Structure 1
């Protein structure tokens, strides 16, 4: 059973610009459907049953181009998402995202990951649109 998915998208902006935007957790609600709000320490995660407050740790390495998020849920379960901004050329970047399976029971895992894969593809297009124009 697959426990992750990797997707990427090309963005027509320099790596530093794309990285700065993604590294700021307050931008998460602007390009993802998963967050109602987010800051350096916490977030409201959107679920089918409404928003859930979580702890949010954003791990950033400008040198490596990585932006990772560790999410701690009210019940203590942890989820993670890993990403990287790579320079493609002077004015184009590649943003890659490793989607990890959510912390759900094993019998729900495959369906949950499949659903999140589709949402991630839409969110990456939304992210690229933030840099268009």
Structure 2
């Protein structure tokens, strides 16, 4: 065991965070997302929600300040009546750990394509709809 690492961050997840370089992306996927079929590297975080995981990750992962949108979420599909409330929670968590960034809203199939290119995907048990989020790693 190590001191100061939240128990929600598994050894596999910590290894991936350490291996990521500037500009690499990691996807935190909700329970409905097709994680296994879209991931180059799949990290399981079953039983956990994205907000608690996001808060723990941002203790270690700097966001990229050299791009306009170091954070992106899957946009609501046109015609869907869902209004995601979890996005405001993400904004609050990011602001708590980093400075505020404008969040990019990424069309569903474009989000899937970015996920396929991401360094890793973390599959969670998050139940909120449209809870998927992409983080771009910055520099220390």
Largest Rg, 1 or 2? 1
| TM more than 0.5 | no
Q: TM-score, structure 1 length as denominator?
A: 0.29
More strand by share: 1
Q: TM-score, structure 2 length as denominator?
A: 0.28
Higher-RCO chain (CA-CA 8 Å, sequence separation at least 6): 2
